[in-house]
Every structure is written in structure tokens, then in C-alpha cells.
Amino acid sequence: MNKNKIKFVVINVIVIIVIISNTMIGISSATRAEPINPEKLPIQVNEGEPVSFIIQIEDYSDARIITIDTSLIGIDNNPIYDFGDLNPSITESRYNSTIILDVSSLPLKEFKVSISGRAPMGETRIPIPNTNIIVSKLDKATKKYYEVIVDKKTINIKPFELIIKSNEEFTKTIDKLQWKEFDGIKKESMKMFNNGLTSEAQNIVNELVKINIPNNLLLFWIFRIDNNLLLNIIVVGFTIFGFIIGFKYAGGKPIDEGNED
């Protein structure tokens, strides 16, 4: 075979590959998946909040596999996915967060699926061995109502922001501290919170918010201090400092995320 024939064959192979690729892209991009009830979903969801909606998937007749994934968690013994009359045709478990559908088993060119569950919890509390300290780990990653994948190509995804109660409460409380005298303590409290000592950090900022009138501070609901504002701030500052020193040298230490399993 001469060089011209080889070149001709190579060019034709490339053309065929391009045509096939474009055809496959056209197939997956033709498939549509949209929410229909409600048509718009909130951009924020509280952890543990129940969520229910319906999406419609259509124009998938040339596809082979449709995958639907969600961050929602099933409630009690109810399935996450409900395909209505198509349920008997679905062989995959409708209780799992991810479900894979063989298009050849779907009798219609379009279908609706109801997705119901609750938003995941965003805080995990982990006891530190040999101490009385409990460290909280916050999952602030973006979650998704649904993601529809056709033949390994994502055609639609609807994300939401997970509102974590402890993080929301801490942020609202610390935003109330406007006096510049509190800046140092606020910074240390935020470090404690980010290191997982969420309850301790929240207790500290709660006490700081109570400092409204000089000469009157009830510290941690136990000690009443009758003195000026500067002394109150110093006392709270030493309380934080003492806790940090005790935490570092009493055997407790923040979780090293890089060493997690």
C-alpha cells in the first residue's frame, strides 16, 4: 500500500471517529432533565430538612444508561425515588441515593420521577480518646438536589447550600460583636470553632454578647464581676487562653484531616 492510500485510510478513520463522537455528544445533549414541581428549588436547605420535588426526563430514546444521583437521605422506610407507574420496571433499588436505569427497560420516551428525602446533617461530633473533649467536623461541601447523567455525561445538576445549624448560630452571634476591643477574642474564638471546638467557641461568644453594661458581667452563669468593661474583657481573654493551654497540653488535639481514613 502506497503512502497516498495510507493517508487516505487514516483520514477516513479520523473522519469516522469525529462523526461518531459528534453523534454521541448529540445524543446525550438532546436528553433533557428539568424540575417541574416545583419549577424552582431553594438555593439553601437546613440540615435535616425534608425535601420533595419532581423532575421530568425526556428525549432519551437514543441513550443507553441514565444515572440519577442526589445528596438527600431517605426518610424512615420510604424510597428516595418514585417513578409512579414505572416502578415495576425499575430493577435498581429506589432507596439508594444513586440509581442507574437501563433505558431499554423504560417503556416511555419520557418519564417523571419524584425525589424525596431529607438534607444530610452537616456536623459530625467525634470524641477525643482519653479526654472529655468532643471535636466537631463540619461538612461545608456543596450538596445537590439531583444530578442526571446520560451515558457518563452530566446533562443537568441542581446544587444547594447546606445550612449547618451550629455554624449558622456561631456566625450570627459573632457578628453581633462590633466593638474593636473584642477583635482579638473573636479571632481566637473563630480559631477554636474552626478546629472543631464548636460548643466551647459558642459559649465564649455567648458570654461576650452579654457584656452590655460595664460593672455588671455574669461570667459563664457562675461568677458575677462588678468592674469596668476592660477588666471584663481581660477576664474572658484569660479564660480562653487557659482553655487553649489546657487543651494543647492535656492530651487533646484537633483532628488532622490529612490522616483521616
Say whether both 62 and 104 belong to one domain: yes
Instruction: Count structural domains, the chain.
Output: 2
Say whether both 52 and 159 belong to one domain: yes
| Dihedral pair phi/psi, residue 100, rounded to 5° | -110, 125
Has residue 17 been placed in a domain?
A: no
Say whether both 44 and 154 belong to one domain: yes
Has residue 18 been placed in a domain?
A: no
Residue 128: predicted pLDDT? 84
> With contact defined as beta carbons under 8 Å apart, do 157 and 150 qualify?
no
Residue labelled with grid coordinates 484569660: 238
Residue labelled with grid coordinates 455567648: 206
Confidence grade of residue 47 (pLDDT, cut at 50, 70, 90) = very high
Q: How far apart are CA 12 and CA 126, in angstroms?
A: 61
Has residue 8 been placed in a domain?
A: no
What mean pLDDT do residues 190-210 have? 89
Has residue 89 been placed in a domain?
A: yes
Say whether both 50 and 144 belong to one domain: yes
Has residue 16 been placed in a domain?
A: no
Say whether both 204 and 243 belong to one domain: yes
Has residue 224 been placed in a domain?
A: yes
Question: Per residue in 158-177, pLDDT tens?
Answer: 999 999 999 999 999 998 88
> With contact defined as beta carbons under 8 Å apart, do 140 and 18 qualify?
no
Question: Per residue in 5-31, pLDDT tens?
Answer: 444 344 344 433 433 444 444 444 578
Say whether both 150 and 204 belong to one domain: no
Question: Per residue in 126-151, pLDDT tens?
Answer: 988 888 888 899 998 999 999 999 98
Q: Provide the residue type at 54 as one letter.
A: I
- Structural domain of residue 120, as residue ranges? 33-163
Residue 242: predicted pLDDT? 60
Has residue 10 been placed in a domain?
A: no
What mean pLDDT do residues 194-215 have? 81
- 136 in helix, strand or coil? strand
Task: Decide if pLDDT at 217 tops 80.
Answer: no
Confidence grade of residue 254 (pLDDT, cut at 50, 70, 90) = low
Greater confidence, 197 or 107? 197
Residue labelled with grid coordinates 425499575: 90
Joined together, the cell numbers standing for residue 117 give 428525602
- Helix boundaries (H) for the chain: 3-30, 165-174, 183-194, 198-209, 229-249
Q: Which residues lie closer than 8 Å to 48 by C-beta, 6 or more apart?
A: 118, 119, 120, 121
Say whether both 45 and 159 belong to one domain: yes
* Mean of per-residue pLDDT scores for the chain: 78
Residue 216: predicted pLDDT? 47
Say whether both 45 and 158 belong to one domain: yes
Q: Could you give the C-alpha distances from 185 to 179, 190, 191, 200, 241, in angstroms and in order?
A: 11, 9, 10, 13, 10
Say whether both 40 and 159 belong to one domain: yes
Which neighbouring-strand residues pair with 70? Answer: none
Answer with the one of 130, 163, 196 that is the final residue of a domain. 163
Say whether both 145 and 48 belong to one domain: yes
Report the CATH number at residue 87: 2.60.40
> With contact defined as beta carbons under 8 Å apart, do 35 and 41 qualify?
yes
Answer with the one of 114, 138, 163 that is the final residue of a domain. 163
Residue 233: predicted pLDDT? 64
Q: How far apart are CA 40 and CA 32, in angstroms?
A: 16
Question: Per residue in 60-69, pLDDT tens?
Answer: 878 889 999 9
Q: Which residues lie closer than 8 Å to 60 by C-beta, 6 or more apart?
A: 31, 66, 103, 106, 109, 110, 150
Residue 3: predicted pLDDT? 44
Has residue 112 been placed in a domain?
A: yes
Task: Decide if pLDDT at 156 tops 90.
Answer: yes
Say whether both 48 and 145 belong to one domain: yes
Q: Which residues lie closer than 8 Å to 185 by C-beta, 6 or more apart?
A: 204, 208, 233, 236, 237, 240
Q: How far apart are CA 168 and CA 145, in angstroms?
A: 21
Greater confidence, 179 or 117? 117
Say whether both 149 and 176 belong to one domain: no
Residue 6: predicted pLDDT? 45
Answer with the one of 133, 163, 193 that is the final residue of a domain. 163
